[in-house]
Amino acid sequence: MTTLKAEYGVATAVLWHVVPDADGATLCHRLLSSIAEVRPITDADGEDIEVGQLCPRCRTALKRAPRGTDGQSQDLA
């Protein structure tokens, strides 16, 4: 299940990354702590997370994420 995972310590803000697998790497290939705060991917489209708080590389990768076009595709729903 795709979730968002928090990376702390970037300036004073939290940066949210998109994580296709609960214990996997982010879409931008960062490996975050397994105990990092998580929240549903649907929050990325909500008002709780500002655009600047969402990792731009993850956001780009999410937009062009393949759906069943190769072996690495994930169900984003």
Q: Which of 2, 5, 19, 26 binds Zn ion (CB under 5 A)?
A: 26
Question: Is residue 17 within the footprint of Zn ion (CB under 5 A)?
Answer: yes
Helices and strands (DSSP H and E) totals, the chain:
1, 3
Query: Three-class SS of residue 45?
Result: helix
Q: Please identify, using beta-carbon distances, which residue of 17 and 20 lies nearer to Zn ion.
A: 17
Question: Is residue 58 within the footprint of Zn ion (CB under 5 A)?
Answer: yes
Question: Is residue 28 within the footprint of Zn ion (CB under 5 A)?
Answer: yes
How far apart CA 17 and CA 55 sit, in angstroms, is: 5
Q: Which residues bind Zn ion (CB under 5 A)?
A: 17, 26, 28, 55, 58
